[in-house]
Structure 1
Amino acid sequence: MLLGCIGDDFTGSSDLGNTLVKGGMRVVQYCGIPDAPADPAVAAGIVALKTRSVAPEEAVAQSLRALDWLRAQGCRQILFKYCSTFDSTPRGNIGPVAEALADALGAGAVIFCPAFPATGRTVYQGHLFVGDRLLSESGMEAHPLTPMTDPDLRRCLAAQSRRGIGHVPAATVWAGAPAIRARLAEEARAGRPFAIADAIRDEDLVALGMAAEDMPLITGGSGIALGLPANFRRRGLLAGQPAGWRGQAGRAAVLSGSCSRATRGQVAQHVARGEPRLEIDPEAVIAGQVTPRAAADWALAQPGLPLVYSSADPQAVRAVQDRHGSDLVAHRLEAFFAETARLLVAGGVTRLITAGGETSGAVVEGLAPGALEIGPEIAPGVPAMRAGDRLVLALKSGNFGAPDFFAAAAAVLAGETVAA
């Protein structure tokens, strides 16, 4: 294994896998820390954790265990992958995990760059933009678990890190890899080894990847991996292409627990198409009035592409959280979707699409597939994945995908089309 990756959620990890597969690497995403060695043919291994919203101490402990396993597979470089909207709180977990990994690897300067231009995430002057809006005006300021109210990533990271925070400005990135390395060294000497890097184009991410060729640790969104496969190829360590995708026939279903703008638009499109849908009221789940068995039985009785969703307006979600507590609401909904997924697969669903990072993580934990082979891209940041002989998945971050994502994903999972 050449590249070892640690993801703080399941959808973000598959997003990273998508980038690396397009770069020509054979990629396997491990759902949790494996208890056996990897297949030697795997070029990039991604240990997908569910550590974005847990206590920092637990996030650090899990990430270090993942690091130990990846190093045992012979990885030459480690990538810590977090969300392209830098989802975190003043306690972490981006800063604490990055510090622990840097200490374990003896890393000096470390790049931090969540940019993903293909989905509108760019970093300029140290500030994160989503499309033409600052992060704090993008809808992420209303996130129920990790509200992002400050677009200055230097301040965000400084609040959760003991290390000094530096900056690699766009002009330096545009000057190429040697200039980036020189700036990183300069920032480290000045006591600012954790450096936020600007990137507004894919070419900027490729340059950052080239600059990080000899760094033991690099951090960012999936875009930061754009230049990494070429580093290994130049050294003669990577050749060939991954195996072709094999679609899966059979029944499909969608589970959505995201309240993001993009997902709510996808739900609206699904409704407009006349596809079957069942809206889940969180209050009814908490009261036990709606059960996974009832939801699964409903979906299995439907033609077409049934959708089971709890994707309310963020204000409505916050009202439920105020009444019951955010931890309880999150736990009950995640348990609901995990059990619904198990029942759907047991009932014959072979193509399962999920929307929302927490929902997708719960579904993967519920299904416990062990490892996921990364396939072709469905939409920027979202690949098709195979979870065994008869099950394929699409795990979508809430903010990703076009309005027709659900139908497009079902087609790609079946092998009927491959999105450009």
Structure 2
Amino acid sequence: MAVSATLRTTSVEVQAGGAARCHVLVRNNSAVVDQFVFAVRGDVRDWTEVKPARVNLMPHQEITVELTFSPPRSPEVLAGEHAFALQVSSREDPGGSVVQEGAVLVEPFTEVDAAIVPVTSSSRRRGRHTIAIDNKGNHPHGVEVTAADPDSKLTFKIRPHAPRLEPGTATFVRVLARPKRYFWKGQNRHLPFQVTVIVPSAAPIEVDGGLDQGPLIPQRFFWLFSILLAILLALVVIVTALLRQRPVSIAGPSPTFTPTPTPTPSTTRRATTTTPPTTTAPRTTPSGGTGGVTRRPGTGGTGGDGDGGDGGGQVNNTTFTIRAQAFPGVGGGPQLFAYVVPDGPRHRVTSVVLRNPSADVGEVRVRHGDRVIATVDLADVDRDGSDALVLGPDRSPLVAPGEQVILAVTCRNARDACTPFGTFTAALVR
């Protein structure tokens, strides 16, 4: 061979962050001047320096090459043995290159950091914390985690209690701090504690934390309770006020029914009544007149004609009123407000006086059961009811006890309810 190399020591010990050296004796065995290049192979080459890197040797001349190993103090270079090789290459005889092998033993070092998150927790029953433990050393090892508070007011639960740390990694430990006593109300109480990480062959690490213990009943509960109580009282007042008002149902308010005696040439009979008297509508049209619905001015007084116009029978006029309160935007058709005919003789409805005191917009239908007697636009109804709907013989219904006379109201107001009402005049039929 053109070259020979001798490694004076095959094993070198070095501390992380320090430096160690070894030497290699290189000899030119050829008969010519040759140039030799030195290179380190293996995972140590990033932190190994060769001096000199190349050299020219005369025939049979020797030189000592120095290798300096400087591993960094970090978990990237693990503790333990790292193999290496020194390659000596000849320029004149490339095939005659030689390799010398050895090992570098990196000594272990321990470095641990710990932090707690959150430093202070807030809870009524238990505080939850996480301890982050970083192994910045170059070898794996275990640690032990303990916790204590100076006033002995807390109990602790730690998981895991003795974790194993791998180099260059972070390990998380859960710490649950629970107070020994609870309280119902008052200000928060701060309970400090300390977590200790016991590291082998190193000083223990102490981390301070704390628990802000709150009352079992939070302060905002009293504010919410006061607000809810005020809302409840307001609802009670509103419901009480509504219940004191006159009830309004789909059947409308209770109508009044007033019999009015009609004088006759021979005698005067007193009609049977069920309610106090109110106003009376205009006289009925003669039975021989034209059919249909007609309007006649005036609201009329008492009085009546004979049934058929011959004066042979007696007719008593009675009145009743149906008041409506229909709300806009209610689906399902018109809203119904009914008067139920009481027990007694039959009556024939002869006229209706409609009134629209609020100038509502919509439509009113006068019905006898399912039969529509008349349909009126509320815009055509006066506020004071100066016009009367006079029902002709073909439209005037004969109502019996238990039957209904209905105002079917369709309200088209923008917001307020429609409040029309009708005063009906009915003649007693004998």
Report which of the two structures shows the higher radius of gyration computed on alpha carbons.
2
Greater RCO, CA 8 A, separation 6+: 1
Same fold? TM cut 0.5: no
Q: TM-score, normalised by structure 2?
A: 0.18
